Structure 1
Amino acid sequence: MGPGPIDAYPSVLRALSAPLTGQYDPFMTATMTETQVLYRQVWGTENEATVIVDGTSRAGIEAAMVSLIRPGDRVLVPVFGRFGHLLAEIAERAMAEVHTIHAEWGQVFPVSVVEEAIARVRPTLVAMVQGDTSTTMLQPLDEIGEVCRRYGALFYSDATASLAGNPFEADAWGLDAATAGLQKCLGGPSGAAPLTLSPRAVEVVTARKRVEAGIREEGDPQAPDFVRSNYFDLGMILDYWGPRRLNHHTEAASMLYAARECARLVLVEGREAVIARHVRAGEAMLAGVRALGLTTFGDLSHKMTNIVAVYIPEGVPGDAARAAMLEDFGIEIGTSFGPLHGKVWRIGTMGYNAREDAVMVTLAALEAVLRRFGHTAFTAGGGVDAAADIYRGA
């Protein structure tokens, strides 16, 4: 019950145990095609270039950024948590001229601030995190795509922690690229990164020069537009997932099955219904921790549905309390880092764990642990009662 990875849906675990097939077996290629169709719906897009990158969510981030960024390109990264710093670092490794703006942890950016920075920097790419678990904040994206278009910038978002538990509309919001992982609201294991590219982004990716099998094509690999990574070259990955099925890597069959099942579950339940379930679980957990006398962190009007941060009560040893939750109740909650290190706990309600019984058991265990360490400024059973009121509509 931390910021992720989380418990996977049982049917996703079953999918992982399905028999392996070769990468050009008709079943495998049909599964790849089906997975693309499913994730177009999850992303809210008609992008043909919707694929899975084999690797953790960071593999998807790196694939998008190294494939879209040419050395010397100006990249703007609005940073409001740890993972904005990650985007800036990857952009620097891609040899971009990186510009950052910063919001206080626990806050998000007004569109006007982002627009002012875009007008000043004139970036080729704007890279933003949607939901940053380090701060629990959800950055509104719905107006930024239009601003990027006006200034001729590509717009990329890392939706690792937010996709499927919070609204995301790739086409309606003008996203040119977006990536995620399975291990948060999608309810799967870490190891596969859903990715989607707009036609405009595909044009950039496919225009990049590349070297395959040691044969130089279209110029020297030191040319400014040469993709420095083979594995993360999206031009080659798109060829692999496209109708030509050009060999690039051996597809991670088990993770493909898991990714397909994660998307299937979202669509069977319904995208809006899944988001509503995350909203309800998040509201119940929020009400519960408040009833236990805990103070929440950050601007709650911009909090992600699927995670809440609470200040560790004075006098309670944060790490020891977390250890007690895990050892005595089998429940993991998260610590934090950066300016919040040692100050807050982060409690997640996402994917398979965005359900009533998981919320109730976590709050009951947390109450017991808080009492053990001397925090008793609440009514007995108050956390569970407050959460139950949310679920009952009281």
Structure 2
Amino acid sequence: MHHSTPFHVPVRTIMTPGPVEVDPRVRQAMSNSILGQFDPSFTSLMNETMKLLRLVLQTTNHWTFPIDGTSRAGIEAMLCSVIEEGDIVLVPSFGRFGGLLTEIAERCGADVQVMTCEWGDVFDPDDVINEMKRVKPKVVAIVHGDTSTGRIQPLKEIGYACREMDVLLLVDAVATVGGTEVNTDEWMIDGLITGTQKCLSVPAGMAPLTYNERIEDILLQRKSIEKGLATKEQLLSSNFERRIRSNYFDLSQLQDYWSPARLNHHTEATSMLYGLYEGLRLILEEGLEARFKRHRVNERALVAGIEAMGLELFGHSENKLPTVTCVTIPDGVNGDSVRKMLLDDFGIEIASSFGPLHGKIWRIGTMGYSCQQRNILLTLGALEAVLTRHDVKVNVGEGVQAALDVYQQKERISKANDG
């Protein structure tokens, strides 16, 4: 017999841009016993989860359900179900995840037109709208909050322009849903994807998405081809050449699984759905406004602490992603050595970065259940200690105090409001 040792999970405070800490109530929900995928108790949980998702995504779209797989699975399902060979797709890319949208669209055979800006900036909506007029795309695919640069892209004007010009707007809102305002319907977003492991604060493994009738029409057209409902002449004319390459990520089949038809497409990730349902329930119990406010207050405390310590933030403050704070690594400091000591000695994890920013910034996430006062204060205190250990001149003692000032000011305001 082989005796292996049980896996030991070290205690951690996770302050990365995902995965994040998970509320014990979500973990408890996930440990419930398994139900069969067509058990009425389970299919009713599927329906209830769709209802809660609509509220969190601020949409009335009927088709609002999770894809099994991480956030990228949702992005792939949305893009490969909508984009056809030869479609013009405009990707305004302002970080690593614009690159991901580009790559997936290219794999779908799209004619991808990429706009770029410097990492740390976002686009002026007018520039995107002018580019749309120039390239006349079928689809604009854009990231809402890019964790690689810690920036958030304003979408409202772009959404209105897409609707006016009859362009489909597909949005990766993985890093923003549940942590800051995301108005699917009001911003005229046609298809939106998010993930469980960031501000929804559920383990990685599901990608909730939503789409409207404009996208459903495309799916139905493609489905009629597959079922042989279209004529041969239509098939031969190129605009009707519509087949979704992926079976697993075929939204036209997935929506049949999430409908009363209950097409036996795949086996639903039972425990993950328990976790998602509970995570969404907790978000709505807290209230979207209150939750966004909590994310803003903790972000403000973190930023105040970082600056009081004498460190610099990366990027422009007006388009900062509220759920990720990018800190410029001081000259001559080995960023990985600082992260290693934070993890080994304090059990706190912060993130490094990619691409042009590799080795230049640290990224600190304040998302979901990780986004709490205790974690902010611990991180600031530990970071100061580690930097001091690395001979960095910081304003000793000031970081935590500046954060405490933010929290105490917030308490005074809420007391005054209660009074």
What TM-score does the superposition give when structure 1 sets the normalisation length? 0.96
| Amino acid corresponding to residue 388 of structure 1 in structure 2 | L
| Amino acid corresponding to residue 271 of structure 1 in structure 2 | L
Report the CA distance between 1:362 and its aligned residue. 0.6
User: SS where residue 393 of structure 1 aligns?
Assistant: helix
Larger Cα Rg: Structure 1 or Structure 2? 2
Distance 1:144 1:292 in 2: 38
User: SS where residue 242 of structure 1 aligns?
Assistant: coil
Report the CA distance between 1:391 and its aligned residue. 1.1
- Equivalent residue for 2:176? 162
Report the CA distance between 1:209 and its aligned residue. 3.6
Match of 1:66 among 60, 69, 80: 80
Distance 1:274 1:43 in 2: 14
| Amino acid corresponding to residue 180 of structure 2 in structure 1 | N
Q: Is 1:384–2:400 an aligned residue pair?
A: yes
- Equivalent residue for 1:115? 129
CA RMSD of aligned residues (A): 1.6
Q: Is 1:302–2:319 an aligned residue pair?
A: yes
Aligned 8 A contact 1:306 1:350 in 2: yes
**Where do residues 50-129 of structure 1 align in structure 2 (5 Å cutoff)?**
50-129=64-143
Aligned 8 A contact 2:388 2:394 in 1: no
Q: 5+ residue gaps in structure 1?
A: none
In structure 2, the CA distance between the partners of 1:210 and 1:86, relative to structure 1 (3 Å rule), is: farther
- Equivalent residue for 1:136? 150
Distance 1:383 1:295 in 2: 12
- Equivalent residue for 1:318? 335
**Where do residues 138-153 of structure 1 align in structure 2 (5 Å cutoff)?**
138-153=152-167
Aligned 8 A contact 2:387 2:394 in 1: no
Distance 2:242 2:84 in 1: 5
Aligned 8 A contact 1:210 1:226 in 2: no
Match of 2:293 among 276, 286, 289: 276
- Equivalent residue for 1:6? 20
User: SS where residue 345 of structure 1 aligns?
Assistant: strand
- Equivalent residue for 2:351? 334
Aligned 8 A contact 1:75 1:97 in 2: yes
What is the aligned length?
391
Distance 1:133 1:10 in 2: 25
Deviates more, 1:12-21 or 1:330-339: 12-21
User: SS where residue 349 of structure 2 aligns?
Assistant: coil
Match of 1:37 among 47, 51, 55: 51
Distance 1:13 1:95 in 2: 40
- % identity of equivalent residues: 49
- Equivalent residue for 2:210? 196
| Amino acid corresponding to residue 106 of structure 1 in structure 2 | G
Aligned 8 A contact 1:281 1:306 in 2: no
Q: Is 1:24–2:38 an aligned residue pair?
A: yes
Aligned 8 A contact 1:310 1:346 in 2: yes
Report the CA distance between 1:78 and its aligned residue. 0.2
In structure 2, the CA distance between the partners of 1:210 and 1:191, relative to structure 1 (3 Å rule), is: farther
Q: Is 1:176–2:193 an aligned residue pair?
A: no
Segments ≥4 residues shifted beyond 6 Å: 219-223
What TM-score does the superposition give when structure 2 sets the normalisation length? 0.91
- Equivalent residue for 2:310? 293
| Amino acid corresponding to residue 136 of structure 1 in structure 2 | G
Q: 1:312-362: per-residue Cα shift (whole Å, max 9, x none)?
A: 111221111100000000000000011100010001111001110010001
